[in-house]
Amino acid sequence: MTGHSDRIVTVFGGTGFLGRRVVRYLRKSEFSVRIASRHPDRARKLFGSDDLRLETIEADIHQEQAVADAVAGVYGVVNAVSLYVEHAQETFHSVHVEAARRVAAQATRASVTRLTHVSGISSDAASQSLYIRKRGEGELVTRAAFAGATLIRPAVMFGPDDAFLAIILKRLLQLPIYPMFGRGLTRLQPAYVEDVAEAIARTLQGAETYAITYECGGPQIYSYDELIRTIAWEAGLRPMLIPVPFAAWYVLAWALEKFPNPLITRNQVELMQADNIVSPGMPGFQELGILLHSISDTLQELLYGH
């Protein structure tokens, strides 16, 4: 496997919503890519098997030796693994903290030059929210194990086949009365998934090897109410928006979590109580030279799919 001065980048989570797009942008940048996944067949279906500069290997991010093998001899590593709903042994701690530490530590042992760790806006090791707290702890253990790691904190992401705008649009099309989280005042700065993926690829191209954190939010900030109305307007809909207290959502989520694949989780309710916007003064898309796409740029594509 050769190419781009024999520089290879291992991508953990390379078959996911964000990760598969990171792979494509790395390939556009002439990197060779090693996709480390528990389901290599899925990667081969996504990308084919004809590209000599694209390798798919079986690797469980929870297994020390598997991670060590995945990062052996590579120039860079991207950890784009994420978990939104806990199940069995897959917990926020095991994925966002323990696995993050494992990837960073093995990257250091393998003398990897660049490590980019994908986290999220509002990540905070002191948060009351379990999900947000574990994301924050994951950043800390990553930097402790790989001092020069780049952290990418995307805002909530949208794009074709997403779990955000597509769900909102589906419910707007189905429900003449739309239940909102609280009074719809939470502020959101949605980022196009392709823009985030390109930003991640660019962190592997730059000359900087010191620790830096990028917060990647889209070109517009909406209140949740404004976002729903914007999507509805583009779809030619005029739903009635009904505020629903967060306490009621929390009880509903608690009940739904007893079933497989719940429509909503308590974690999601907690996330919707906090603003999801870029912090003032933080570097982000602009510093990486990314031309941003707005929600309106992609809504028509989503509408066509529905």
User: Cα(296)–Cα(230) distance, rounded to whole angstroms?
Assistant: 8
User: What's the pLDDT at 43?
Assistant: 82
User: Cα(42)–Cα(30) distance, rounded to whole angstroms?
Assistant: 22
User: What's the pLDDT at 157?
Assistant: 94
Flag whether pLDDT at 5 surpasses 70.
Answer: no
Flag whether pLDDT at 210 surpasses 80.
Answer: no
Residue 48 pLDDT grade (very low, low, confident, very high; cuts 50, 70, 90): confident
Average pLDDT over residues 254-276: 87
Give the residue from 157, 126, 185, 208 showing the smallest Cα distance to 21.
157
Flag whether pLDDT at 4 surpasses 60.
Answer: no
Phi-psi region of 303 (alpha: psi -120 to 50; beta: other; left: phi over 0): alpha
User: Cα(58)–Cα(114) distance, rounded to whole angstroms?
Assistant: 22
User: What's the pLDDT at 3?
Assistant: 37
User: What's the pLDDT at 109?
Assistant: 97
Least confident of 101-110, 114-123, 268-277: 268-277
Flag whether pLDDT at 304 surpasses 70.
Answer: no
Give the residue from 156, 154, 168, 198 showing the smallest Cα distance to 299.
168
| CA dihedral sign, ordered 2, 147, 200, 168 | positive
User: What's the pLDDT at 291?
Assistant: 93
Lookup result for tokens 């060590």? 68
Give the residue from 124, 104, 122 showing the smallest Cα distance to 114.
104
User: What's the pLDDT at 225?
Assistant: 96
10 Å Cβ neighbour count for 167? 12
Average pLDDT over residues 173-186: 93
User: What's the pLDDT at 202?
Assistant: 95
User: What's the pLDDT at 2?
Assistant: 38
More confident: 128 or 192: 192
Flag whether pLDDT at 57 surpasses 90.
Answer: yes
CATH number of 8-155+191-217+278-291: 3.40.50.720
SS3 50: coil
User: What's the pLDDT at 209?
Assistant: 65
Given a contact cutoff of 8 angstroms between Cβ atoms, the answer to whether 203 and 288 are in contact is: yes
Which residues are CB-neighbours of 25 under 8 A, at least 6 positions away?
Answer: 197, 198, 200, 201
pLDDT in tens, 86-115: 888 889 999 999 999 999 999 999 999 999
Given a contact cutoff of 8 angstroms between Cβ atoms, the answer to whether 119 and 80 are in contact is: no
Mean pLDDT of the chain: 90
Average pLDDT over residues 123-127: 93
User: What's the pLDDT at 306?
Assistant: 55
